[in-house]
Amino acid sequence: MIPITPIFIRSKEILKELSSLLDEERLAYGKLDSEIIINLSEQKQTLLDEMNQLNEKRINVLIKFDVVDRKKPTEEAFKNWLNTQDSSMDNIRLLMQDCEALLKQCKIKNNTNARILNTLQKRNKHLFELLQGHSSKNKVYTARGSTRPISSKHTLGRA
């Protein structure tokens, strides 16, 4: 039997932790707490690094047992091999399905957080331009072809 069950079990644990961190991140964006956001991003990076190591370990085990091609190991080849196995591999099939469902959930949450972050960045940029007396409508071209805002005489800093 191929020893990949512990790898899938740990992957499932990591994906659950990642999902929880993504929920916390969304809440931190709502509170605009940069310390929490930075801390969460470090935790996410640690989990993602461990997940990458687990995937490499899994691929190496599958190559060692001649389940996938040494030169070009693919997820599809592993799934095809897994589908041809008897019921003794049902545990791995279930773990793999759980991991795929959790991964899909994490991707959705991550995309949602990315949209929230993008909106916050646009809002902050707009507010910063207002404080400087710039307007996105009042821009001119420079000699190099880029644009720069025209300063207003009525900035909040001068008021």
pLDDT bin (cut points 50, 70, 90) of residue 126 is confident
* Residue 49 is assigned to a structural domain of this protein: yes
Does residue 2 surpass a pLDDT of 70?
yes
State how beta strands 139-141 and 147-149 pair: antiparallel
Count of structural domains within the chain: 1
- CATH number for position 42: 1.20.58.300
* Residue 83 is assigned to a structural domain of this protein: yes
The span from the CA of 13 to the CA of 47, in Å, is 10
Residue 143 is predicted with a pLDDT of 73
Indicate the DSSP class of residue 32: T
Residue 128 is predicted with a pLDDT of 82
Q: What average pLDDT score do residues 15-43 get?
A: 95
pTM here is 0.79
* Residue 25 is assigned to a structural domain of this protein: yes
The span from the CA of 89 to the CA of 156, in Å, is 68
* Residue 156 is assigned to a structural domain of this protein: no
Q: What average pLDDT score do residues 68-85 get?
A: 91
The model's pLDDT over 8-24, given as tens digits with 9 standing for 90+, comes to 999 999 999 999 999 99
Pick the closest to residue 135 from 119, 154, 120, 116 (CA basis). 154
The span from the CA of 92 to the CA of 21, in Å, is 26
Does residue 92 surpass a pLDDT of 60?
yes
* Residue 159 is assigned to a structural domain of this protein: no
Residue 109 is predicted with a pLDDT of 98
* Residue 157 is assigned to a structural domain of this protein: no
For residue 66, the enclosing domain spans 5-149
* Residue 40 is assigned to a structural domain of this protein: yes
The model's pLDDT over 43-64, given as tens digits with 9 standing for 90+, comes to 999 999 999 999 999 999 999 9
* Residue 81 is assigned to a structural domain of this protein: yes
